Amino acid sequence: MKRVVLALGSNVGDRATFLEKSCELIGCMVGKVVRFSRVYETEAWGFDADPFLNQVVIAETELSPEDVLAATQQIEVALGRACKSGRADDGTPVYHDRTIDIDILLYEGVTCATDSLTIPHPLIARRDFVLLPLAELFGNTVVPPFHQSFQQMLTKLKTEN
């Protein structure tokens, strides 16, 4: 069994219900959810939109990282996610409102960078809506491959902004 850390976000419809249903489906399709953060409301990041509810969950899984990605994408579709974020012609990210977004942040013992999946998630250190629940769950523990705790990353991000 490996532990996978997932970030959940919703800014459309009954946001709290989408988070709850995501956790239920993660339990069925990915593996047992063993920990979860509180739910945080944050402003949209990268585009103008309604606020998000965000949460981080840790699940134990026997799935490979690629299979976790496939399962989380199926969950997004099942819960009504219409379009994925993408890139404009100039390469800048284009984000959309979503019923649910599920990102793989960490997968125990794995680092990878492919066209479809990068672990750890490359934007962890730039997103307070991810760092806040990670700091809640991991405290001052330094989680490989990082050389500082999520709390230290969050503090650094806040002083830079």
Query: Is 90 exceeded by the pLDDT of residue 81?
Result: no
Specify the CATH number for the domain of residue 107. 3.30.70.560
pLDDT at 87 over 70: no
Query: Where in the sequence is the domain holding 61, given as residue range(s)?
Result: 2-122
91 assigned to some structural domain: yes
Provide the number of structural domains found in the chain.
1
What mean pLDDT is predicted for residues 29-53? 92
Q: Is residue 37 part of a domain?
A: yes
Which tens digits make up the pLDDT trace of 99-118?
999 999 999 999 999 988 99
> Does a structural domain hold residue 161?
no
Residue 139 placed within a domain: no
All residues at 6 or more sequence positions from 59 whose CB lies less than 8 Å from its CB, including other chains: 3, 4, 6, 26, 27, 30, 31, 32, 33, 34
Q: Would residue 86 count as lying in a domain? A: yes
Residue 13 domain flag:
yes
Q: Is residue 73 part of a domain?
A: yes
pTM of the model: 0.91
